[in-house]
Amino acid sequence: MHIGPYALTNRLMVAPMAGVTDRPFRQLCKQWGAGYAVSEMITSKRDLWHTAKTMRRADHRGESGPIAVQIAGTDPQMMADAARHNIDNGAQIIDINMGCPAKKVCNVWAGSALMQNPPLALAIVEAVVQACAPLGVPVTLKMRTGWNAENKNALSLALAAEQAGVQMLTIHGRTREQGYKGQAEYLTVAEVKSRLRIPVVVNGDIDSPQKARAVLDLTGADALMVGRAAQGRPWIFREIAHHLATGDTLAPPLVAEVRRSLLAHLHEHCALYGEYTGVRTARKHLGWYVRHMPGGEAFRQHINNLEDPQAQADALGLFLDQWAQTSDRMPLAEAASAPTTETQFA
């Protein structure tokens, strides 16, 4: 699969998630089999580009390409300027955010709120494409199915975006009104895929290898994007890749392998954020890693009281060493549903 001139190693992608998909997490997922990862969304507001938060989000040092940066905003010219700014700082692909359902984003008419204003949404797409095309940088778009169940306009907006020059489209199978509640539906994605010539990526509720295969079969999508299911389980990409290639279920990863990977992630995380912020922002990752393991809740409470990065790392290493005395592999993931009933696509 290609995005413009860039050939991806596979069709498994990490979804952009604010507060999650920083450089260390993107690298972690790529190490476990993701072929592509998109940055956290970066604001188009020029006065925020040099804040610590935005600069961390735009940090791509040592990251394998292609480097994809998601931008968010409501003004076409500001979005075009943001695209050029991020290209100057290493972005090789620019992704436009029309999928974020967060109130603080939608209240200023950015993210998925743009789907309520198709003329403005298209103006933004056209401005960003015009800014990127002379530089040879492809533009992609991430959206939802629509604002609510009565206003699903993904198809019309997707067709217009393709005509404007977008080179890949990702659709989360929920409306903005749903947020992350209820079930993702994939029939809208299937309809869009049947009408577009550019690659279409399906996103939403893909939480197991079996679900991944079923969703790809139903939608005919060119690729799939995993978000929340990768939190605490980055090896899901390797599991999905194995299942798609063989039809078999891959055994959980070795504890020793996970231990090395997660400790390296903690180190890179604190190197990016600094000790004070890093030890605090790492807590959510540590909680995700152990949430389905015996004793995981007690461990989460323990590490939430630690304020030293080395103490965190030592605690995680000890916790995994104790599990290794029980099994040489990580526990099986909780059974995830495959989309076998009509209601799961409604």
Secondary structure (3-state) at 172: strand
Looking at residue 105, its pLDDT comes to 64
100 included as an active-site residue: yes
Q: Where are the beta strands (DSSP E) in the chain?
A: 2-3, 6-7, 12-14, 36-37, 42-43, 68-72, 93-98, 139-146, 168-175, 200-203, 223-226
Decide if 282 contacts 266 (C-beta within 8 A). Answer: yes
In whole angstroms, give the CA distance from residue 115 to residue 152: 9
Interval 206-227 mean pLDDT = 98
The CATH homologous superfamily of the domain defined by 2-246: Aldolase class I (3.20.20.70)
Interval 121-148 mean pLDDT = 96
Mean confidence (pLDDT) of the chain: 92
Q: Amino acid letter at 122?
A: L
Place of tokens 């188009």: 44
Looking at residue 176, its pLDDT comes to 86
Element (H, E) at 323: helix 309-324
Percent of the chain with pLDDT over 70: 93
Looking at residue 107, its pLDDT comes to 56
Supply φ then ψ for residue 207, to 5 degrees: -125, 10
pLDDT per residue as tens digits for the range 165-188: 999 999 999 998 888 899 999 999
Looking at residue 334, its pLDDT comes to 64
pLDDT per residue as tens digits for the range 42-73: 999 999 999 999 999 999 999 999 999 999 99
Secondary structure (3-state) at 136: coil
Looking at residue 117, its pLDDT comes to 92
List all residues 6 or more positions away from 311 whose beta carbon is below 8 Å from its beta carbon: none
CA-wise closest residue to 189 among 222, 162, 161, 213: 222
Separate counts of helices (H) and strands (E) for the chain: 13, 11
Looking at residue 206, its pLDDT comes to 98
- Can you spell out the DSSP letters for 18-62? TTT-SHHHHHHHHHTT-SEEBPPPEE--GGGTTSHHHHHHT--TT
For residue 66, cis peptide bond before it (omega within 30 degrees of 0):
yes
Looking at residue 337, its pLDDT comes to 37
In whole angstroms, give the CA distance from residue 122 to residue 327: 53
Q: Select the more confidently predicted residue: 177 or 131.
A: 131
The three state secondary structure string of 212-227 is HHHHHHHHCCCEEEEC
Looking at residue 330, its pLDDT comes to 96
Choices 2.60.40, 1.10.3720, 1.10.1200, 1.10.530: CATH for 255-324: 1.10.1200
Sorted by where each begins, the domain ranges of the chain are 2-246, 255-324
Looking at residue 333, its pLDDT comes to 78
Q: Residue 108's pLDDT band (boundaries 50, 70, 90)?
A: low
On the question of pLDDT at 77 being above 60, the answer is yes
Q: Select the more confidently predicted residue: 62 or 100.
A: 62
Interval 87-97 mean pLDDT = 97
Percent of the chain with pLDDT over 90: 88
**List 29, 100, 106, 132, catalytic entry:** 100
Looking at residue 218, its pLDDT comes to 98
Interval 92-101 mean pLDDT = 90
pLDDT per residue as tens digits for the range 282-294: 999 999 999 989 9
Looking at residue 336, its pLDDT comes to 37
pTM of the model: 0.93
Decide if 125 contacts 166 (C-beta within 8 A). Answer: yes
Interval 23-35 mean pLDDT = 98
pLDDT per residue as tens digits for the range 315-346: 999 999 999 999 999 998 763 333 332 322 22
CA-wise closest residue to 59 among 272, 339, 233, 315: 272
Looking at residue 346, its pLDDT comes to 24
Looking at residue 103, its pLDDT comes to 64
Looking at residue 335, its pLDDT comes to 39
CA-wise closest residue to 11 among 205, 229, 215, 254: 215
